[in-house]
Amino acid sequence: MSEKTKQNLYLSDYQDFIANTRRLTPKTVNEYMLDLSFFFRFILIFHKNPNINLDEKINQILKETSLDELTNEIITSVTWNDVQRFMSFYVGVLKNNERSQKRKLVSIRRFFDYLLFTNKIAATPIGDIDIRTPKKQPISLTENQIITIIEPILKSYEGKFKERDKAIIILFLELGLRLSELVSINLEDIENDAILIKGKGKKERILPLNETCISAINTYLKVRPKSYEIKTGHRQALFLSRLKQRISTRGVQLIIDKLFLLANLNNEERKFTTHKLRHSFATILADKGVSIHDIQDFLGHENLATTSIYVNSNLHRLKEVKDKNPILKNENI
């Protein structure tokens, strides 16, 4: 097997890994591979000419450089200094912003982590190189805003679908769900005081329902259309639209728009969306001192997702956390 074939296998195996095992989106996979292509073309240039100047001319040379000459030996011989030099070029010559710099570094780091994991290298060359990107503070509701503004609105909330709308808002606030997760909930996903959530990448998690959630769901189920009234193929959907089919993501966002219109919280600079409710959930729990690991479990973030063998104990622990930290104080809204 030629070195080129082996090199192609390294990259194609990694691409297959992030696409199928990590289940990243095609767009993200493409971005990672473009970052790696850019990095290794830079490495090839310095492999041929270690004394080349880091100036604007190198950018043109990068565009003209092919990866055909990249071998396994070159890949596995990359050092901390090589990565540091690349980042210096990326920052000093190309003058890309910090967010772009960080993405490049993450792409390189994860590729070498993969090589380390698959025993292609003995140590990663990334070391302690880091770029601190200032994070924008996500827009979120404070606990006081929820208590003084949102709760009163929910108590007096009116409309033809008020039971459904209130249940949707409460689940967002109490469980920190993604929009796609909420609309995909089926009747069979709810069992007693627990709910099955189907998250990103077909990953599932079980979350506890506190009394506020259970009460809101039960109140809605009393007025939910009967099975024979619902369109075929939509009868298992928990939340239904006025057309008696599974509610759409747009339909849910309109409900949230109505909530914040009533609350007079939206303006040109701050617009609350369903995802901002998710931010609110996480922020309030963090402010209460809840472990970041517990919050990550609620949110279903991949890097701290628990395996199926821990579901039962994890659910019990999360239930205790949620019972101690309800977002909405009134169970009979």
Given the residues 178, 205, 224, 235, the one annotated as active site:
178
Phi, psi of 28 (to 5 degrees): -70, -40
316 is catalytic: no
27 is catalytic: no
Which pLDDT score is estimated for 95?
64
Which pLDDT score is estimated for 188?
96
pTM above 0.75, yes or no: no
Given the residues 164, 205, 275, 322, the one annotated as active site:
275
**For residues 302 and 182, what is the distance between their CA atoms, to the nearest angstrom?**
18
Class of the domain covering 143-324: mainly alpha
Which pLDDT score is estimated for 130?
56
Taking CA atoms, 329 is separated from 107, 167, 255, 267, in Å, by 44, 15, 21, 27
pLDDT in tens, 123-169: 888 765 555 544 455 567 888 888 888 889 898 898 899 999 999 99
**For residues 275 and 277, what is the distance between their CA atoms, to the nearest angstrom?**
5
Structural domain boundaries of the chain?
Answer: 3-117, 143-324
Given the residues 47, 162, 234, 301, the one annotated as active site:
301
Given the residues 110, 276, 278, 322, the one annotated as active site:
278
pLDDT in tens, 259-306: 988 888 766 556 778 888 888 888 788 778 777 778 788 888 775 432
Max CA separation in the chain (angstroms): 76
Given the residues 4, 102, 200, 244, the one annotated as active site:
200
Ranges of the chain whose pLDDT falls below 50: 1-7, 133-135, 304-314
242 is catalytic: no
301 is catalytic: yes
Q: Give yes or no for a contact between 59 and 93, defined as CB atoms under 8 angstroms apart.
A: yes
Kindly tell me the burial class for residue 280, based on how many C-beta atoms sit within 10 Å of its own C-beta (0-12, 13-18, 19 or more): buried
Which pLDDT score is estimated for 4?
40
Q: Give yes or no for a contact between 70 and 40, defined as CB atoms under 8 angstroms apart.
A: yes
